[in-house]
A and B are shown apart, each in its own frame.
Chain A
């Protein structure tokens, strides 16, 4: 609520929030990430996760994947505002529930524990394509790929077994099937 004595209208009731994944193709130039992120913070939009890297070195194109929440009206605004930025080429927007899109996030988990506990951890990780990147007597670094919420769950679950450090990439997305987003 804004203060009762203000020159502006009081907020109306908020609509239901949806989670959306935006994929934004941008010119890989200095400041472009600041423009995109600044748009979000400046207009009060949410960023739950952000992943960005160059995907086409000859055309100099980077692909930014942003997970955000908002009312349908806000989601619409985000898309239209992103499209207005000069270095933005195209913008795709997917609902999290969209079955035609693959969402994946990678995490590195460091577990420091007794051998037994480590074994247990690795067992738990099994369904998330675990790759052991480093192993000592007392520790292991394992890489998993999964959905955001699966990784959330795993971090919670593995805490008691000695999970000491987690590093996550943020979600990235790709459509299923032969077609690509134009």
Chain B
């Protein structure tokens, strides 16, 4: 007779099979049998967070920076509800997470038992799939399938709810060798004909633009290499969404910056005026498209995506290629090299006028700002941070708000998986725990959370986690004493009625850092900024850097409300148009 294992042992067996090295979690009554088993599995290290939301975001940071799924372990009831924000965040940004939650024993389910909640009910809309395991015999299959669902196709979070009695119950362990086909949920069967059509469009375009998104990152580091080769081969300008930054080198001449609401003038104008738009792994998010009716009106549109439901969801496209980004562009490159040897040169000629136009737009210097020698401008702070860290492999996470946009605009990424930000859900408090996860995955690398003082306070307790595991994360707070993006919208849309957006009663961040046992640095003068940033980088341990910046700075450029891509506000030097009126107000 084969050996029987408890549910808790089965959980670890499958985590070992998946080569899981880290679990982010927080213990509680309904998961104690699993925590009890932890000591017997030395290859798996548990990272104790201070709040379950932190566990979720840390696992997201781990997953995004390493390409491996993040694993979360929480208890029933409040443990599970606390992780909901992180699951939703991962669902919106397509991050693979496997969350294991404890549940009250099966005989108590439905009785409003202590720390009971309908976890699978609550998490159904924010996971790719979830399971309540009511029979121990189901557990092996579920554990196996969970990783498969989380990591294949368009990745995303899954949750396994395991009642306490199932964690004690015993069953057989069988190693799954061959991957079971999952109801045909993985789509990677594009046709040769589609590739031919793509190349036909490429060879005819006069004003093309490539628009890439997080799908390139999710397709793996190889996809970024392939993308580089593809874009250099066809010579097109390339823009990226917030999530796609780093897939193509940010300092490359062909890169025309991020697009969308706070994207560059050249990227948004190119999107509006182009005659061919190639969307690679992006989803026409509403922060990108602006007004749908006037979105890129003159272009043929191509959409390459692994998720068939992304196609034609928002923008109707002329050519849809459903497949893995890397595979699709690899076969496009092959075709171009084989069949159309002349494409390279003829293309460059045909689109040379287009490049001239883009250069003209570039001279607007839309990311420019008026620097000051009295106050630290937030953009200047990000720029200095970039200059002082670009020579080492740096990982950046952010919170959500103005600082996030400034980071996206002024920090240039040259490699994928270096930029972790909450885009879809826009979760304030994401960056600090995400930095914890990134540092776990890359213990010797520099990890910086570019933060706002309001966001960071939402998950500041995770500093304690960083200290416990000696994670030298740097929390670089652009402190403007406001919920800056809220204030900016109130300024532009609500007659400067700054309702509740002032960060009253802020803590002394230096003392706070010291209270947690890490280093605090404060800067409020542009002259001392560089030295203090260097001090932060050189310090071997976690740092909270309180960078006092101009509280009134706004984030530009900005597509104002009700306007298409080609009518942007360009910041203080463009004051004339710097007004949003009438029906425009609804669209910011």
Contacts and interface: CB of A to CB of B under 8 A. Distances in A.
B13 interface: no
B132 A9 contact: no
Contact of B149 (A5, A10, A86): A86
A181 interface: no
A8 B489 CA distance: 12
Interface string B567-588: 0000000000000000101111
A10 B587 contact: yes
Contacts of B134: 30
Nearest to B149: A86
Contacts of A5: 493-494, 585-586
B494 to A, nearest CB: 6
Interface stretch (B99-107, B120-128, B264-272, B432-440): B120-128
Given A2-B586, A5-B494, A80 B308 contact: yes
A38 B125 contact: yes
B309 A77 contact: yes
A117 interface: no
A30 B585 CA distance: 46
B585 A4 contact: yes
A80 B562 CA distance: 30
B121 to A, nearest CB: 7
Contact of B312 (A35, A73, A81, A83): A73
Contact of B124 (A8, A9, A38, A76): A38
A86 B587 contact: no
A31 interface: yes
A89 interface: yes
Interface string A4-44: 11111110100000000000000000110011001000100
A88 interface: yes
Contact of B121 (A3, A9, A34, A85): A34
Nearest to B494: A5
A36 to B, nearest CB: 11
A71 to B, nearest CB: 11
Give chain A's interface residue range (CB within 8 Å of chain B): 20 to 34
Give chain B's interface residue range (CB within 8 Å of chain A): 20 to 34
Contacts of A80: 308-309, 311
B124 A4 contact: no
A86 B124 contact: no
B183 A89 contact: yes
A8 B261 CA distance: 11
A84 interface: yes
B424 to A, nearest CB: 14
Given A9-B286, A42-B125, A83-B308, A77 B489 contact: no
Given A84-B309, A86-B182, A9 B128 contact: no
B91 to A, nearest CB: 12
Contact of B132 (A31, A42, A81, A89): A31
B364 interface: no
B494 A8 contact: no
21 contacts: A2-B586, A5-B494, A7-B489, A8-B586, A8-B587, A9-B290, A9-B587, A12-B292, A30-B134, A31-B124, A34-B124, A35-B124, A38-B125, A42-B125, A77-B313, A80-B308, A81-B309, A86-B129, A86-B149, A86-B183, A87-B183
Shortest beta-carbon contacts, A-B, top 5: A80-B309, A86-B129, A42-B125, A80-B308, A5-B585
Interface of A: 2-10, 12, 30-31, 34-35, 38, 42, 73, 76-77, 80-81, 83-89
Interface of B: 120-121, 124-125, 128-129, 132, 134, 149, 182-183, 185, 286, 290-293, 307-309, 311-313, 316, 489, 493-494, 562, 583, 585-588
Given A4-B585, A12-B293, A30-B132, 6 more contacts: A9-B586, A10-B586, A10-B587, A38-B125, A73-B316, A80-B309
